[in-house]
């Protein structure tokens, strides 16, 4: 079994599909409500964005998923996402990430 991170949009899609089949427990309902409130992308677009961001050198899948969830528009937002990563992100990479994200907004 391989592990990979899910975007909030993918979680929303999975919980919505599951909700059509059965009653969700309270924590699942809360997660679905949160996802429906904050998600701006479809699960398909979110996954495409993660793939594009992951292709940038030095960007982990975890960071790419965070980018897809938060859709940063400013360099400070990108730096905040990468603050827990063990790499220093350069201004060129930050601008590239913002450019890729802007295609999905």
Same-domain pairing of 66 and 88: yes
Residue 69 lies in a domain: yes
> Domain tally for the chain?
2
* 61-70 helix and 43-54 helix, angle to the nearest 10 degrees: 130
pLDDT digits (tens, 9 = 90+) for 5-64: 999 999 999 999 999 999 999 999 999 999 999 999 999 999 999 999 999 999 999 999
CA–CA separation, 59 and 6 (whole Å):
16
Q: Which two tokens stand for residue 17?
A: 């599909």
Residue 71, Cβ neighbours under 10 Å: how many?
18
**Pairwise CA distance, residues 88 & 91, whole Å:** 10
pLDDT value at residue 84 = 84
How many helices (H) and strands (E) would you count in the chain?
6, 0
For the entire predicted model, the pTM comes to 0.92
Residues 65, 95 within the same domain: yes
């Amino acid at each position: 079994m391989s592990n990979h991170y899910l975007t909030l949009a993918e979680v929303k899609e999975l919980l919505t599909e599951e909700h059509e089949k059965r009653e969700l427990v309270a924590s699942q309902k809360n997660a679905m409500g949160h996802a429906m409130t904050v998600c701006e992308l479809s699960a398909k677009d979110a996954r495409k964005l993660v793939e594009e961001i992951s292709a940038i050198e030095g960007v982990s899948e975890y960071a790419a998923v965070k980018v897809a969830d938060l859709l940063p528009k400013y360099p400070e937002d990108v730096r905040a996402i990468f603050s827990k990563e063990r790499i220093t992100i350069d201004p060129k990479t930050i601008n590239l990430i913002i450019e890729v994200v802007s295609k999905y907004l």
